[in-house]
Structure 1
Amino acid sequence: MKPVIGISGNILISKGNTFSGYRRSYVNQDYVEAILRAGGIPFIIPFNEDLESIREMVEHVDGVILSGGHDVNPYNYGEDPLLKIGEVFPERDVFDMEIYKTAVKYNKPVFGICRGFQIINVVNGGSLYQDLSYADFVKLKHDQQDNPSQATHFVKFEEETFLRDILGEEIKVNSFHHQILKDVAPGFKVVAKSPDGVVESIQKITEDCFVVGVQWHPEMLSVKYEDSQKVFDEFVKEVEKRKSK
């Protein structure tokens, strides 16, 4: 059986139509299609607040993608909200963190994207800059506000890392975020940085743990750029390998 990849879901609230205010469970279709192309079976884990149900859903998949979305609530890393923080969704923080903790408990590989990358860092004891303007070293435009499949700035990878082995020393990525990592979680290796020093990827890979996170959105690039699709290909292969142990 093909490996089943759980994708953390979000809530979309309808506006300005017959069903205004209606709540819908969803993920962006790019995630689904990237996993299908990689030979996996995508499975949306719908947002909910039943911790037992969340755990059981994760137990029924082979690997997990933590998807993008709202800002992470700063109370999760011991800070009060500052003036430039965006919209938060505290209940989803709990949801995503429970998915992560359950996946790691059962040695199911985790791939975090954008918010998912930040969730991985925070749940493991790291912190965030609540806005790019609070980090005085930032020089590049990290929220491109443009075509999602357009790559806009480079990231450079450290040697002997999962993504370096797939992508080489440097690639150009897209960029849709206003928060970045501040303190990297203990036990995690910095995998990639942008030219201005923003941490763009981290990993923790051992015999019993496979966790990789990226700040950009490879799922949005995966149709246009073969290297971005290859990230999903290799993740699904890793899930398959660990599933068979």
Structure 2
Amino acid sequence: MIKVGVSYCDSNLENYINWLRRASVEVEPVILSYKELNSDDLKKCDALLLTGGDDVHPEFYGESEREGDKYNRDRDWFEFKLLDIAFSKDLPILGICRGLQLTNVYLRGSLVFDIQTVIGTNHRKDENTGDDRLHNIFVFDDSKLFKIVGEREGIVNSSHHQSADRIGENLRISAKCDDGVIEGLEWVGDDRFVLLVQWHPERMKNFESVFSRNLLEAFINSIIQK
């Protein structure tokens, strides 16, 4: 049985667990929580999945707090420790939404503090329905992501107000939205599996979309092939 460490989030945690359980092999999710301080449990796992949630505190990329944003330094520090362990053990890493942002900051990148303010577009949930916003993305055809999804563009869901800005060390852009917002990052330099996406594959209404199902399959296959 494959064990995947899943970072705890205060809402929608079941979505990630249920998504993992749709894999073609049996997966045991292991919840890793800043409340339990159980980062050592990741050492018994085969991979790490970093979930969505609060903004990464801007002090970690050299900026100041902004009124109205929601932060959790305890969670940030805990998940940086998870990344320490994952990189030291060469575990496959999948980062979703905040997971992309946190990993980018961990690797000395920075974030756009608010997309609507800086870029002028809206990537938050629909204010009227509460549903994820949908938009097109473009996948770079020389990326690992393109090899996974096999599509140069497609529709994904969106529920965030921040995004990667300066790219972290050993990362490259794999996908963008048509407004220039970065939608995917990936590891370069060796075969380490670090796949970071800004959308939410775990709660796409169409699991059969290559931007959901293929990401799960690639993540699981990276574990099996180690």
* Counterpart position of 1:239: 223
Is 2:54 the counterpart of 1:73?
no
Contact 1:35-1:232 within 8 A present in 2 as well: yes
| TM-score normalized by the length of structure 2 | 0.89
Structure 1 stretches lacking a partner, 5+ long: 13-26
Q: Over aligned residues, Cα RMSD in angstroms? A: 2.1
| TM-score normalized by the length of structure 1 | 0.83
* Counterpart position of 2:141: 159
Deviations along 1:75-134, whole A, 9 cap, x unmatched? Answer: 011111134x52101000011111111111101000000001100000000011111134
* Counterpart position of 1:144: 125
The more displaced of 160-169 and 195-204 is 160-169
Q: For residues 57 and 159 of structure 1, what CA distance do their matches in structure 2 show? A: 37
SS in structure 1 of the partner of residue 158 of structure 2: coil
* Counterpart position of 1:57: 41
Q: For residues 166 and 72 of structure 2, what CA distance do their matches in structure 1 show? A: 22
- Distance of aligned partners of 1:46 and 1:106 in 2 relative to their CA distance in 1, 3 Å threshold: closer
- Distance of aligned partners of 1:241 and 1:5 in 2 relative to their CA distance in 1, 3 Å threshold: same
Q: For residues 110 and 9 of structure 1, what CA distance do their matches in structure 2 show? A: 15
Aligned residues: 221
The equivalent position to 1:125 in structure 2, one of 103, 108, 114, is: 108
Contact 1:67-1:113 within 8 A present in 2 as well: yes
- Structure showing greater Rg: 1
Contact 1:6-1:64 within 8 A present in 2 as well: yes
Q: For residues 111 and 74 of structure 1, what CA distance do their matches in structure 2 show? A: 22
What letter is aligned with 1:144? K
* Counterpart position of 2:32: 46
Using the aligned pairs only, state the percent identity: 28
Q: For residues 91 and 61 of structure 1, what CA distance do their matches in structure 2 show? A: 22
Instruction: Give every structure 1 segment of 4 or more consecutive aligned residues whose post-TM-superposition deviation is greater than 6 Å.
Output: none
What letter is aligned with 1:41? V
* Counterpart position of 1:34: 19
The equivalent position to 2:192 in structure 1, one of 184, 202, 209, is: 209
